[in-house]
Structure 1
Amino acid sequence: MIKQLLSLVLICGVFSATSACAKDIAPDFTLKSNGGENLRLEEQRGNVVMLNFWATWCAPCRKEMPVLEEIHQRYGAAGFVLWGVNVEEDSEAAAAMAKDLGVTFPIVFDPESKASQAYGIDAMPTTILIDRDGNVRYKHRGLPKGYEEKYRSEVRELLAE
């Protein structure tokens, strides 16, 4: 029994914020969006939220944007919210890239890295999924093979809860 418990603790430490781990309340933040308004995470309680931390210099970030847009379009009416959290100091480049790629989900700007630090972001892209109760349930670093279906599956799971 002790070995099993230690294994679970180790898994939770390595694969932080998976559904097998203790639930952590998502750190709240308020950031300015590409629409000009301030968006606060806490106000999204009751929705499933995906935070995608990205940068314009990140090629995998650019690659995943159309997939994120498709997920946003598909699940938005079901209580799903997607925010792209740009981590750069220059918000103009991020807004231009999002526009060029046809992104319609909100882009919020984290020029002082407050949200990034609160979520322990150390890789680009990093995607966080938060359940309706405001708990971090999944954290994906980088862009692993098969990420498209994994994201869709996890969003469906959280929406069904």
Structure 2
Amino acid sequence: MPSKPLSRRHILQSALWAMAASALGAQAQGLTGPAFEVSKWSGPVSSLSSFSLLDTSGKTWQLADWRGRAVLLNFWASWCEPCRAEMPTLQQVADLYGPERLLVLAINFKEPAARAIQFAKSTGVTMPVLLDSDGRAARQWGVKVFPTTLMLDHSGQPRQRVQGEVDWTGSAAEKLIAGLLKP
């Protein structure tokens, strides 16, 4: 029986997982999956104080906007197949928890606003879509893989970095989010 050819998405996910596993080697910590890797935040906290991005409606989002709430900062692009694949579950988790408990911000990487808006409309994304039009925010947060989600706890402290596609409605993601919420 001939084998079924692998999809482009499967090949990209496998390559991402292999690169992450290779880079981390024996020092790997945290959770890994076939398409994502979770690591403890090790970057500078100074990225928080300089965070300021416009959303697709022209509103400016800053650190003070999310005080007291857990936050997921999801860096994505419409050309990124794993980003497109995970976006529906990211929207579902945003809807499930609500923005007062878990604020999910979808940060579009270096695409025209019109493209980000069209993507949101065509996929039913209603969470805030912020525009990182020059890539500065991604550089400040050390984002090099798409999608990357940075997880901040209810006190505003960065806790984890998730690189790769995640089913945000799954049990692994639920455990990660639970650690961010107010007790």
Q: TM-score, normalised by structure 2?
A: 0.71
TM-fit CA distance, 1:22 = 9.7
Aligned to 1:3: none
Once residues 52 and 90 of structure 1 are traced to their aligned partners in structure 2, the CA distance between those partners, rounded to angstroms, is 17
Once residues 154 and 84 of structure 2 are traced to their aligned partners in structure 1, the CA distance between those partners, rounded to angstroms, is 28
**Relative to structure 2, which stretch is displaced further, 147-156 or 29-38?**
147-156
Q: Deviations over 1:91-145 (max 9, x none)?
A: 211111011110110000001112111110000000111011111111111126x
Q: Deviations over 1:59-118 (max 9, x none)?
A: 110111110011000001651100000012412111110111101100000011121111
Q: Deviations over 1:30-83 (max 9, x none)?
A: 111012211113321110000000001001101111100110000016511000
Q: Which runs of 5+ in 2 are unaligned?
A: 1-26, 30-37
Once residues 165 and 98 of structure 2 are traced to their aligned partners in structure 1, the CA distance between those partners, rounded to angstroms, is 22
TM-fit CA distance, 1:159 = 1.3
Aligned to 1:33: 55
Once residues 159 and 25 of structure 1 are traced to their aligned partners in structure 2, the CA distance between those partners, rounded to angstroms, is 22
Does 2:94 correspond to 1:67?
Answer: no
Q: How does 1:120-159 map to 2 (within 5 A)?
A: 120-143=142-165, 148-149=169-170, 150-159=172-181
Q: Which runs of 5+ in 1 are unaligned?
A: 1-9
Q: Percent identity between the aligned chains?
A: 31
Once residues 99 and 59 of structure 2 are traced to their aligned partners in structure 1, the CA distance between those partners, rounded to angstroms, is 21
Q: Secondary structure of the residue that 1:27 maps to in structure 2?
A: helix
Q: How does 1:1-161 map to 2 (within 5 A)?
A: 15-17=39-41, 24=45, 27-28=48-49, 29-76=51-98, 79-143=101-165, 148-149=169-170, 150-161=172-183
Q: TM-score, normalised by structure 1?
A: 0.80
Q: What letter matches 1:104 in structure 2?
A: T
Q: Secondary structure of the residue that 2:158 maps to in structure 1?
A: strand
Runs of 4+ more than 4 Å apart: 21-26
TM-fit CA distance, 1:147 = 5.6
Once residues 96 and 158 of structure 2 are traced to their aligned partners in structure 1, the CA distance between those partners, rounded to angstroms, is 22
Once residues 31 and 78 of structure 1 are traced to their aligned partners in structure 2, the CA distance between those partners, rounded to angstroms, is 19
